[in-house]
Structure formats: structure tokens, C-alpha cells
């Protein structure tokens, strides 16, 4: 078998065989196929696409290219969730304790912030002492003991994706449905859970800008996950507006705690929908019954207690969760006020995410340090009526003299006009 022939076959629009795809993935990882052939292959897939059978094989071959986690000891109780990424998206911090308090086992590997989107690992590290680098045996025994462990991506998992993603990033081949599907699903499958619920975001702050594109991706990922023997659902949810009111690492942990203590907002709604779908699939319950149990976990305080147990057993200081004023506050707070009366008609979530990176809440380049206290608190969101002089947002940073920069960046990200915007759905659909 030759890499050249496989590239030629895909370039000509033919479907590849199981053996050809596995040969290619193996060659990429062992170095026998050079980067220039790998990128030619990626471009051919970009233009010619892949059948579901090819995408299943590609996903499976990538998943098997490195270490995998064995969660078989937890049987059907092992669950996982994945978000395609957003701004202010701290649902994992809420969903984990809800499903953990129902007896489900969440052994989760999360990512760090990327571009304008935040990452769960960075958020958790804003809690003093929290360890995101547990070795495999400790990771699993913590899940056994407390039902939840959330760590960073470790060691040699899915090396094929590391190589391919880096090449896609610089060769304009990221936005291909089979390539995104195999990239995300190979990592989720390698993490071992029996039930996987995906949160596919759509809108200005999301990878998929339209609900139609998000649906295509969601359906494909659900199909591939099921073909690989997992229970799957995907929610298509709004990321046109940031989720909740806090953006930035420690600020997001605080808002997650507020929701677990009863605050009701869009963040609660999306978290509840994700948790309910996980519980319905894993516990084989009707969705309404699963939702009732999830709501009860929050109302009774059981989910908040579970969060404290999880954070403490992973080394974090859980007293910060009891007393949110213990989190350090940024040196500078900048108030952003309305310059006119009107309705907030549009918020560009990506621009607001990038503004938070400028405040210090994210990385400009890999390896940059994060300022955990930096970020934004939004007082008004899309659809709200505001008056001249009203406080729209407060920005927090350790960087002085940002007033003018912030006003300008906020104005470019948020549109205020006379017409009340038509409300958009928060949850577009659930795909099974």
C-alpha cells in the first residue's frame, strides 16, 4: 500500500477502504508518512468528504493511535459531556456535580482555553490547590470515591489528532465535517465513557455559525458515536450571546456556584438540559423524570455538596465555594456604561471573548500565563432595554488604564438600537 495511491483515490472522490484509512493513520503517527502527504490527504478529504463508514474508521483508527481510558469497571454509569466551545460556557462545573449527585460516574478530561473560548481546566485551576494532573490510578479511584474527576488531557492520548489538528490549523482544513467529527469523537471515545452528551454551540461565539451547520455536525457526531457502541445525544445550543453573565476563570467558577445555589438564568437552563439528557440515557429514564431528578439535586443542595466533595478531593480549597468573597478580586475594575437608550440587539460573543483575552483571562499564545481574576461581568444581555448611563458591564483586570480601549472594544462587540430584537431559542434541538 502506498500513501500516494490513497491520496489519489480520495482526490478522485472515491471511498477509501478500512485498510487504507488505518494504513494512513498509522503512517502519520509512526512518521513513515511525511507532513506534506498528510496535508494533501487532509485537503482531499476537505473537498471530497467521507462516507459515514469512512468517518467511523478514521475516528476508530485515531482513537486507537494512543492510550485509552478503561472505564469498564463503572459499567453503564460512566458518562461524559463535551462542548464545541464557547464564551462564558461553564456548564461542566454545574453538570458534573448534578449527575455525580445522581450516582453517575464522570471521569472527564477537559481542555484549556483556546482563542476566544475558555477551558474548564483553566477555570478549575483558579480554585487554590485544585490538581488537574492526577495520575491515571488516582483519577479512577477519585471517580470511584466521589463520582467525579476532571483533569487535563494527559500523556499519549490520540496522538494522531495532535498531528492532524496542527496540520489542519495551518492548511485551511479545520472546517471539514468528517475531520472535525473524527477529531472530537476520537478523543471522546478514547476517554472511555458509555454515555456521551455533546453541546454543539451555534452563533457568533461558536465554531459553527449557523444552526444548520451545527445540526450537520451534531448528527454526524451522534451517528459516529453510536456506530462505535456508545449512547449518544447532542444538544444544539445558542452561543450568539455569552452564556450566563460572568466570563473569565474565577468569575465563572463563582457563577457556577451561584447556579448550584439556586440562581436561575440561561446558564442554568442549558446545564439542566445537558444533565437531564445524560441522566435519561445513562439511567434509562424518561427525559421528564431525569429532569425532575436533576432539578431536585440543585434545589435540595445535593449538587452543591457534591461539587464541594469533588473539589476538595482533588486538592482544591472548598471553603472558597462556601464563601465566594475569598476569591481574590482584580486590582482594576472598569465600568462600561450605555451611551444611549435602546435595546441590546446583538452581542458578538467572539469579540467579547477576545476582549477577555486582552484583560488577561486567556492566552495570546500557547504557554502564556493566565490571570485568573480577569474577565467581564455582564449586567445586560441581548434583548434587554437599557438607558443612557446604565451599567452594562464591569471589566476586571490587573492591567491599568484600559478605559478607552475597553469602551471601544465593547462598542464594537455590542449593538444597541431602537428595535427590540426577536428572541432566539436557547436550545435549538436535541439529536439522538
Beta bridge partners of 307: none
Nearest CB to ligand URA, comparing residues 183 and 195 = 183
Burial of 31 (0-12, 13-18, 19+ CB in 10 A): exposed
Collapsing DSSP to helix, strand or coil, 421 comes out as: coil
Task: Give the three-state DSSP class for 30.
Answer: helix
What is the DSSP secondary structure assignment for residue 72, as one 8-state letter?
Answer: G
Q: Catalytic residue positions?
A: 82, 161, 168, 183, 187
Show the binding pattern over residues 150-169: x = contacts ligand URA (CB under 6 A), - = does not: ---------------x----
Q: Which of 31, 63, 6 is nearest to 183 (CA)?
A: 63
Binding segment (CB under 6 A) for ligand URA, from list 37-45, 180-188, 243-251, 301-309: 180-188
Tell me the closest approach of the beta carbon of residue 103 to ligand URA, in angstroms. Answer: 29
Which is closer to ligand URA, CB of 62 or CB of 355?
62
- Residue 327's alpha-carbon distances to 97, 178, 251, 253, in angstroms, are 20, 42, 9, 10
SS3 108: strand
Minimum distance of ligand URA from residue 264's CB (angstroms): 30
**Piece in contact with ligand URA (CB under 6 A), picked from 21-29, 179-187, 278-286, 407-415:** 179-187
* 180 scored as a contact of ligand URA (CB under 6 A): yes
Compare residues 174 and 287 and give the one whose CB is closer to ligand URA: 174
CB of 167 to ligand URA, least distance (A): 11
How many whole angstroms separate alpha carbon 97 and alpha carbon 11?
47
Toward ligand URA, which CB reaches closer, 1 or 166? 166
Least gap, CB of 48 to ligand URA (angstroms): 18
Residue pair 117/354 in contact by the 8 Å Cβ criterion: no
Total number of residues shown for the chain: 432
- Concatenating the DSSP letter of every residue in 238-301 gives E-SS-SSSEESHHHHHHHHHHHHTT--SHHHHHHHHHHHHHHHHHTT--HHHHHHHHHHHHHTS
Q: Is 91 in the site for ligand URA (CB under 6 A)?
A: no
Q: How many residues bind ligand URA (CB under 6 A)?
A: 6
- In terms of CB distance, is 165 or 332 closer to ligand URA? 165
Task: Report how far residue 13's alpha carbon sits from residue 197's, in angstroms, rounded to the nearest whole number.
Answer: 32
Nearer to ligand URA, 86 or 244 (CB): 86
Shortest distance in whole angstroms from residue 424 CB to ligand URA: 23
Per-residue burial over 37-49, b if 16 or more Cβ lie within 10 Å, else e, is bbbbbbbbbbebb
Stretch 184-223: interaction string toward ligand URA, x if CB under 6 A: x---------------------------------------
Residue with nearest beta carbon to ligand URA: 183
Which residue stretch of 172-180, 242-250, 275-283, 344-352 sits at the interface with ligand URA (rule: CB under 6 A)?
172-180
Listed ranges 37-45, 176-184, 232-240, 257-265: which one lies at the site for ligand URA (CB under 6 A): 176-184
Are the C-beta atoms of 83 and 91 separated by less than 8 Å? yes
Among residues 132, 183, 195, 314, which is the contact residue for ligand URA, using CB under 6 A?
A: 183
**55 versus 183: smaller Cβ distance to ligand URA:** 183
Q: In whole angstroms, what is the distance from residue 62 CA to residue 157 CA?
A: 10
Q: Of 177-185, 276-284, 321-329, 383-391, which part binds ligand URA (CB under 6 A)?
A: 177-185
Q: How far is the CB of 184 from ligand URA (least distance, A)?
A: 5
Beta pairing partners, 105:
78
Instruction: Of 333, 352, 369, give the one whose Cα is nearest residue 239.
Output: 352
Cβ atoms within 10 Å, residue 301? 13
**Min CB(354)–ligand URA separation in Å:** 18
Residues that bind ligand URA (CB under 6 A): 165, 174, 179-180, 183-184
Amino acid at each position: 500500500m502506498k500513501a500516494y495511491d490513497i491520496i489519489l483515490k480520495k482526490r478522485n472522490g472515491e471511498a477509501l477502504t478500512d485498510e487504507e484509512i488505518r494504513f494512513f493513520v498509522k503512517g502519520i503517527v509512526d512518521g513513515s508518512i511525511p507532513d506534506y502527504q498528510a496535508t494533501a490527504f487532509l485537503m482531499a478529504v476537505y473537498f471530497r468528504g467521507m462516507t459515514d463508514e469512512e468517518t467511523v474508521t478514521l475516528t476508530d483508527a485515531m482513537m486507537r493511535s494512543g492510550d485509552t481510558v478503561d472505564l469498564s469497571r463503572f459499567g453503564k454509569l460512566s458518562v461524559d459531556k463535551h462542548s464545541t466551545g464557547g464564551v462564558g460556557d461553564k456548564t461542566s462545573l454545574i453538570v458534573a456535580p448534578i449527575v455525580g449527585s445522581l450516582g453517575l460516574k464522570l471521569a472527564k478530561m477537559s481542555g484549556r482555553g483556546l482563542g476566544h473560548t475558555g477551558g474548564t481546566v483553566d477555570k478549575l485551576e483558579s480554585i487554590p490547590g485544585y490538581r488537574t494532573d492526577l495520575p491515571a490510578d488516582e483519577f479512577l479511584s477519585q471517580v470511584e470515591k466521589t463520582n467525579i474527576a476532571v483533569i487535563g488531557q494527559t500523556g499519549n492520548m490520540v496522538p494522531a489528532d495532535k498531528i492532524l489538528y496542527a496540520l489542519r490549523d495551518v492548511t485551511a482544513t479545520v472546517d471539514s465535517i468528517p475531520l472535525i467529527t473524527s477529531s472530537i469523537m476520537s478523543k471522546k471515545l478514547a476517554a472511555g465513557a458509555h454515555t456521551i452528551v455533546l453541546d454543539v454551540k451555534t452563533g457568533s461565539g461558536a465554531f459553527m455559525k449557523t444552526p444548520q451547520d451545527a445540526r450537520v455536525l451534531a448528527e454526524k457526531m451522534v451517528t459516529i458515536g453510536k456506530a462505535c457502541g456508545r449512547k449518544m445525544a447532542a444538544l444544539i445550543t445558542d452561543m450568539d450571546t455569552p452564556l450566563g453573565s460572568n466570563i473569565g476563570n474565577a468569575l465563572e467558577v463563582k457563577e457556577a456556584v451561584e447556579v448550584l445555589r439556586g440562581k436561575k438564568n440561561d446558564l442554568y437552563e442549558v446545564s439542566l438540559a445537558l444533565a437531564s439528557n445524560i441522566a435519561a440515557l445513562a439511567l434509562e429514564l424518561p427525559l421528564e423524570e431525569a429532569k425532575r431528578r436533576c432539578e431536585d439535586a440543585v434545589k435540595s443542595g445535593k449538587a452543591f455538596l457534591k461539587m464541594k466533595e469533588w473539589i476538595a478531593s482533588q486538592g482544591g480549597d472548598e471553603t472558597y465555594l462556601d464563601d465566594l468573597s475569598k476569591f481574590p478580586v482584580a486590582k482594576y475594575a472598569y465600568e462600561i456604561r450605555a451611551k444611549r437608550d435602546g435595546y441590546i440587539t446583538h452581542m458578538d460573543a467572539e469579540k467579547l471573548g477576545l476582549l477577555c483575552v486582552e484583560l488577561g483571562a486567556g492566552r495570546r499564545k500557547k504557554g502564556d500565563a493566565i490571570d485568573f481574576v480577569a474577565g467581564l461581568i455582564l449586567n445586560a444581555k441581548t434583548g434587554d432595554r437599557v438607558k443612557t448611563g446604565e451599567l452594562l458591564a464591569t471589566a476586571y483586570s490587573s492591567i491599568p488604564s484600559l478605559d478607552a480601549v475597553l469602551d471601544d472594544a465593547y462598542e464594537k462587540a455590542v449593538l444597541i438600537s431602537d428595535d427590540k430584537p426577536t428572541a432566539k431559542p436557547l436550545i435549538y434541538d436535541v439529536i439522538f
